[in-house]
Structure 1
């Protein structure tokens, strides 16, 4: 249920962002069509935002697809990291428990730096610790390592 709610939420936010980017692109094109050199320059600059936005949206959705594939593979092997960290009544992860889980995940990566599953677990440990940027970096690293492994390798 939570997964579906999260997917719907992400889809709605993506759709709203796309609407905004289309509107921004339209304004940029309107400025370019004026033919006034300053307006053309501003219009061209405005068009950078929608292009960058589309690239970033595509990058994040592709990461989501790869994370789901990695999750499915680890679940099939019964190796999926379990989120059993204690939480406050408001849902926040206990900081001390997150730090312990993070240390274990980091140690696993240090022991096996080419193991995509270790990087996957580290990504979720970063997420539990509240560091979303490093969580995404770790998950991207896991996806790169997974894509480089020989066919049939674990």
Structure 2
């Protein structure tokens, strides 16, 4: 719940920022001066990119949460198996074991979105965000294809 609230608050702040920046761009365009108009148009590009980026991320999170809910209903949601040091850092040997199992599962069933989802969770638990995101995107793509 805390993550959802944090995401919603961040999105709201970004929307306010996009509106403020966009209004400045419109004001610059409204002056009619060629340099101000060119600068106003370039300023309007930032909110457009920002809105697109926020939309794509929101869709990604929504789809990933739907997969998690479906997998949870099936009883296949993975648990965090990584051993941690007293300071909370992940034990590298433990992570290697989990990744080896998850990768083997994914290699055995490369078209199964569930195995890709579990691999994404393992990467996320190990704080490897780029790989977690790619694996989750693959899981989402496979699930959408299967429907």
TM-score of the superposition, structure 1-length normalised? Answer: 0.86
Give me the whole-angstrom Cα distance separating, in 1, the residues matched to 2:136 and 2:22.
Answer: 31
1:73 matched to which residue of 2?
70
Sort the Cα spacing of 1:42 and 1:126 in 2 relative to 1 into closer, same or farther, 3 A: same
- Equivalent residue for 1:113, pick from 107, 110, 132: 110
Give me the whole-angstrom Cα distance separating, in 2, the residues matched to 1:37 and 1:96.
Answer: 62
Sort the Cα spacing of 1:90 and 1:61 in 2 relative to 1 into closer, same or farther, 3 A: farther
2:129 matched to which residue of 1?
132
2:55 matched to which residue of 1?
58
Q: Say what the alpha-carbon RMSD is for the aligned residues.
A: 1.6
1:97 matched to which residue of 2?
94
Give me the whole-angstrom Cα distance separating, in 1, the residues matched to 2:5 and 2:146.
Answer: 33
Contact 1:99 1:129 in 2 (8 A): no
Cα deviation for residue 90 of structure 1 reads: 4.9
Sort the Cα spacing of 1:96 and 1:28 in 2 relative to 1 into closer, same or farther, 3 A: farther
What stretches of structure 1 of length at least 5 have no aligned partner? none
Residue 29 in structure 1 maps to residue 26 in structure 2: yes
What stretches of structure 2 of length at least 5 have no aligned partner? none
Contact 2:29 2:41 in 1 (8 A): yes
- Equivalent residue for 1:48, pick from 40, 45, 68: 45
Give me the whole-angstrom Cα distance separating, in 2, the residues matched to 1:90 and 1:15.
Answer: 34
Give me the whole-angstrom Cα distance separating, in 2, the residues matched to 1:21 and 1:88.
Answer: 42
Sort the Cα spacing of 1:57 and 1:108 in 2 relative to 1 into closer, same or farther, 3 A: same
Contact 1:123 1:138 in 2 (8 A): yes
Give the match's secondary structure for 1:105: helix
Deviation per CA, 1:74-96: give whole Å up to 9, x if none. Answer: 11111111113223455443333
